[in-house]
Amino acid sequence: MLAVCAKEPGLDSKVDERFGRAEYYVIFDEAKNMPQSIENKAKFEAGGAGGTAVRLLNENGVDVLLAPELGPKAMDAIKAFEMTVYRYTEQKTVRETIEDYKAGKLSKIDTSTTPSKHGLRKV
């Protein structure tokens, strides 16, 4: 299953520009062609939201993540849970981002794309 960071539930939501503090994750079961949206409870964490978000996704069976950026803690958790990550850079819908992934248009990433934020939250 794959997950995409989203501002709202559903495939027609715009993707979120954050990972650990994304509002929602749309989890897409490719085998059944079915989406499920979950609220990101990690967005309320004082620090380490990325690692908590990865655990939440792992608990929901996600093995492929489509995200805009990842900090060091999130990347460490992704490696620990053996997930694969692809980066999107355009503010499209979740549906369009999944289509880009299927078409091989997203870049695979293996290292964090941002420096540590030390728990600071974007306001």
118, part of any domain: no
Print the domain residue range for 81: 2-109
74, part of any domain: yes
Residue 101, domain CATH: 3.30.420.130
66, part of any domain: yes
Buried b (16+ CB within 10 A) or exposed e, 92-111: ebbbbbbebbeeeebeebee
The whole-angstrom separation of Cα 17 and Cα 19 is 7
119, part of any domain: no
Q: What is the mean pLDDT of residues 71-76?
A: 89
Residue 105 φ then ψ, to 5°: -90, -10
What residues does 29 pair with on adjacent strands? Answer: 34
123, part of any domain: no
117, part of any domain: no
Q: Considering the chain, what is the average pLDDT of its residues? A: 90
Q: For residue range 88-115, what is the model confidence (pLDDT) as tens digits? A: 999 999 999 999 999 999 999 987 666 6
Is pLDDT above 50 for 48? yes
Structurally, the chain folds into a number of domains equal to 1
